[in-house]
Amino acid sequence: MKEKQKILALILFLLGNFTFLATAQSNKPTEEAMKLPECIKSHGVDSLETRKNMSLFQEDFKNKDYELAYKWWSYVYNNAPCSYKSIHQNGPVMLGKLIDNPALAARKKNFIDTLLMVYPTRIKYFGEEAYVKGIWAYSLSRYKPDNTAEIMSLYKFYHENEKDKLNEFYLRDYLRVAIVSHKKLQINNEALFNLYDNLSTSGELNKEINKTDSVLYKEWSEYLNKIDKMMLPFLKGKDIDLIFLPKLKANPNDKVLINKAIKFYKADPLYKDNPNFIGLLEKSYALEPNAQAAESLARYFESKKSTAKANDYYEKAAELSTDNSKKEELYYKLAKNNIANLSTARGYANKVLALNPNNGNAIIIQGLAAYKNRCGSKFDMGAAACLAVDYFNRAKNIDPSCTAEANKQIANHKKFFPAKADAFFLGIKDGDSYTIPCSGESTIIRTLGGK
- For 330-384, write each residue's pLDDT tens digit: 999 999 888 878 778 889 999 999 999 999 999 999 999 889 888 899 999 999 9
Instruction: Report pLDDT for 248.
Output: 84
- For 290-334, write each residue's pLDDT tens digit: 898 899 889 888 988 888 999 999 999 999 999 999 999 999 999
Q: 19-27 long-range contacts, Cβ below 8 Å, gap at least 24?
A: 20/55, 20/58, 21/51, 21/54, 21/55, 21/58, 23/86, 24/54, 24/58, 24/84, 24/85, 24/86, 25/83, 25/84, 27/84, 27/85, 27/86, 27/126
Q: Which residue has the higher pLDDT, 240 or 171?
A: 171
CA gyration radius for the chain? 34
* Residues whose CB is less than 8 angstroms from the CB of residue 393 and which lie 6 or more positions away in sequence, other chains included: 406, 410
Residue 410 and residue 393 in contact, taking contact as beta carbons nearer than 8 Å: yes
- For 377-407, write each residue's pLDDT tens digit: 999 999 999 999 999 999 999 999 999 999 9
Instruction: Report pLDDT for 272.
Output: 65
Rounded distance, CA 373 to CA 364, Å? 14
Rounded distance, CA 299 to CA 292, Å? 11
Once rounded to an integer, what is the mean pLDDT over residues 57-72?
A: 93
- For 240-256, write each residue's pLDDT tens digit: 887 788 888 888 888 88
Instruction: Report pLDDT for 256.
Output: 81
Position 270 pLDDT exceeds 70: no
* pTM score: 0.59
Once rounded to an integer, what is the mean pLDDT over residues 176-193?
A: 92
∠ CA 381-387-438, rounded to 5°: 50
Position 451 pLDDT exceeds 80: no
Average pLDDT, the chain: 88
Instruction: Report pLDDT for 434.
Output: 95
Position 237 pLDDT exceeds 80: no
Q: Strand pairing partners for 442?
A: 435
H/E element, 442: strand 442-444
Instruction: Report pLDDT for 110.
Output: 95
Instruction: Report pLDDT for 252.
Output: 86
- The amino acid sitting at 320 is L
Instruction: Report pLDDT for 178.
Output: 95
Position 92 pLDDT exceeds 90: yes
Sign of the dihedral defined by the CA atoms of residues 8, 14, 18, 24, in that order: negative
Rounded distance, CA 90 to CA 76, Å? 12
Among 136, 132, 37, which residue's Cα sits nearest to residue 80?
37
Q: Which residue has the higher pLDDT, 278 or 324?
A: 324
Instruction: Report pLDDT for 13.
Output: 46
Rounded distance, CA 17 to CA 55, Å? 6
Instruction: Report pLDDT for 6.
Output: 41
Residue 42 and residue 80 in contact, taking contact as beta carbons nearer than 8 Å: yes
Instruction: Report pLDDT for 271.
Output: 65
The shares of helix, strand and coil residues in the chain, as percent rounded to the nearest 5, are 75, 0, 25
Once rounded to an integer, what is the mean pLDDT over residues 225-236?
A: 84
Instruction: Report pLDDT for 69.
Output: 94
* Residues whose CB is less than 8 angstroms from the CB of residue 181 and which lie 6 or more positions away in sequence, other chains included: 148, 149, 152, 187
Rounded distance, CA 287 to CA 259, Å? 11
pLDDT band at 26 (very low <50, low <70, confident <90, very high): very low
Percent of the chain with pLDDT over 70: 93
At 113, give phi and psi (nearest 5°): -60, -40
Among 138, 115, 121, which residue's Cα sits nearest to residue 84?
121
Instruction: Report pLDDT for 450.
Output: 59
Position 3 pLDDT exceeds 80: no
Percent of the chain with pLDDT over 90: 61
Once rounded to an integer, what is the mean pLDDT over residues 171-194?
A: 92
pLDDT band at 284 (very low <50, low <70, confident <90, very high): confident
